[in-house]
Structure formats: structure tokens, C-alpha cells
Amino acid sequence: MAEPITLSIDGHRIAALAFNQDKPGTPLVFIHGITSSIFFWTAGQTPDVHDHPWYSLSLPGHAPAAVPPGFEPRDLTDGMIARVLSAAVQQLTGDRPAILAGHSTGGFAALAMAACAPPLVRSLVIVSGFAQGTWIGQMGFGQRLARRGLLGRTLFKANFRWSLRSRTAFRGSVYKCAADRQAIGAHPELNHLLDQTYPSARQLDRDAMLCYFGRMPDIDISDQLPAITAPTLVIAGDRDPIVPLTQAHLIADHVPGAQLAVFPGAGHLPMWERPNDYHRSISEWIRKTA
């Protein structure tokens, strides 16, 4: 396993993993979702990337990344996320435009970056992503708690701590993101995923997570989507219990020329619930746009 790279940007400590840096192909940058980490992409979610330099980039505030001291909810904006991560991508890839692939909040971040810094982006892959940050299911419940005063914030942190009390509890949280839990349980990389991501989840800054859950419902970049010029592939499951399927249609309808792939019976983790369809779609897209 590669050692994390640390990037300092506007007081943020951003983390990344780098692979195949000696390869000449178009760089790929993968961005994880909310409460996950850079290690998410090391457990079978990436397609065949052997001919490309590729990077796993952290969202701000996700261990081993960290927000600046005194970071407040009002500091969490789509502009901040786009600015900080665009600077990180430029440090990693130099002047070479990259293919950005983001899952969930990572997909939101990739869209914001493509709107903010078009020259950095060759193409986009948005997996279970969104333009409007109101979630449903367990994540939506967390958002409502985070926005209900001191008691709600206290309950949010207690609930967050409870979900990470053990590896078994963490596994249960992963299952709640899926629609096809049988497919998740049968995936040969599941234990590797848990081994890679659980330690980082235990280190998550609960105050930073509180900022995300409390602020994301106020964030909407749908008016920026028509300005995105990068070729865009949108992947979603039609039974996503976290991000409504309407978000995939919103993105596909408003980003010029975007393509939409909806996987029947899949939830928020199509890379685990429909791995063959997922890998085929992304591999073809990389070959087409790189």
C-alpha cells in the first residue's frame, strides 16, 4: 500500500494516495464519499487503470486529512471544496487534465471542480452523486439531527460514535447504504474494504462531519451544471437509499451531453452491488475519453 501524500492548501491538510506515477496515460483522480477515506478506492472499486497514473484524493476534513483550526459550518461551501480540491489535483497532476471520478459527495465535489476549474478536467464519472445536498435514509436522519440545535448535535455525535463502536457495527452501516445487500455480502473484496476503511473512519473528526451534515442541505450547484464542458458519465442505482435517483437525472439533464447509466436493483454502492456493469461502464468511458 502506498503511503499517503499530504498537501497543504489554504490551511487544509489534504491527503492522497498515488499509484503508477511513471505511466504516461491520462491521470485519473478518484474522490470518495462522505465519512469515507482515500483507502476506499484501494479495495476493488477502480477499473483497469494499469496504464494510467491514478490518485485517490480525500475530501476536506476526512482522516487522514484535516480542516484548519477554528473551522466552522459556514466555512463549508461548494466554492471552498472546489477551490481546495482543484489546487490539490493541480499539485498531483501538474498541467495534465485529469479524469475525475467521484462517489456520492465525491461526485458532488467533482462536478463543482469541473464548473470551477475546467482546464483541470478531461472528463467526469459521477457515481451516486448529487448537485443538491439533501439526503434521505440514514444520512438524511443525520442531517436533520445536525441541524437541530445543541441536543441534535449531541445526538448526532453519539449516533456517529455508536455506528463506529466496532467493525461489525461499521459493516452494518455499509450494508445500510445498499439496496442489494446479498450482492454486497458476496463481494470478494468486502473484508478488504472494511480492513482498509474502518481505521480511518474511527479517526474521523466528528466536528468536521457535523459541519458536512449540517451544511450540505443548504448547498445547491444545479445552476452551475450547464457550464460544465467536460464529457460526463453519471452512474446510479435505481434504489439508492441515500441520494434520490432524481439527482442523477438532474445532473444528466443539465450537464450538456452527459450520459446516464442506471443500474436496476442497485443502491448507493453500485461498484459493489453491480460490479460487472460498473467496471464495464467506467472502463469503456476511460478508453473513450482519455
What is the percent of the chain with per-residue pLDDT over 90, rounded to a whole number?
89
**Mean pLDDT within 92-102:** 94
**Mean pLDDT within 199-207:** 94
Angle, CA of 20, 290 and 133, to the nearest 5°: 90
Question: With 90 as the cut, is the pLDDT of residue 238 above it?
Answer: yes
pLDDT tens-place string over residues 243-287: 999 999 999 999 999 999 999 999 999 999 999 999 999 999 999
Q: What pLDDT does 11 receive? A: 96
Q: What pLDDT does 92 receive? A: 96
Q: Torsions phi, psi of 107, nearest 5?
A: -65, -45
pLDDT classification of 1: cutoffs 50, 70, 90: low
pLDDT tens-place string over residues 165-190: 999 999 999 999 999 999 999 988 88
Question: With 80 as the cut, is the pLDDT of residue 22 above it?
Answer: yes
Query: How many C-beta atoms lie closer than 10 Å to residue 10's C-beta?
Result: 11
Question: With 70 as the cut, is the pLDDT of residue 47 above it?
Answer: no
Question: With 80 as the cut, is the pLDDT of residue 131 above it?
Answer: yes
State the chain's mean pLDDT as an integer: 94
CATH number, domain of 54, equals 3.40.50.1820
- For 186, the 3-state DSSP assignment is helix
Question: With 80 as the cut, is the pLDDT of residue 74 above it?
Answer: yes
Cβ 1 vs Cβ 55: under 8 Å? no
- For 69, the 3-state DSSP assignment is coil
pLDDT tens-place string over residues 207-226: 999 999 999 999 999 999 99
What is the span of the domain harbouring residue 106? 5-289
Round to whole Å and give the CA distance between 36 and 21.
Answer: 24
What is the percent of the chain with per-residue pLDDT over 70, rounded to a whole number?
98
Question: With 90 as the cut, is the pLDDT of residue 95 above it?
Answer: no
The verdict on pTM exceeding 0.85 is: yes
Lowest mean pLDDT among 73-82, 86-95, 183-192: 183-192
Round to whole Å and give the CA distance between 217 and 1.
Answer: 35
My answer on whether omega of the bond before 64 falls inside 30° of 0, hence cis, is yes
Question: With 90 as the cut, is the pLDDT of residue 25 above it?
Answer: no
pLDDT tens-place string over residues 54-66: 999 999 999 999 9
CA pseudo-torsion sign 125, 130, 135, 137: negative
Q: What pLDDT does 58 receive? A: 97
Give the highest mean pLDDT range of 14-23, 192-201, 237-246.
237-246
Number of domains forming the structure of the chain:
1
What Å distances lie between residue 97 and 136, 226, 254, CA to CA? 34, 20, 22
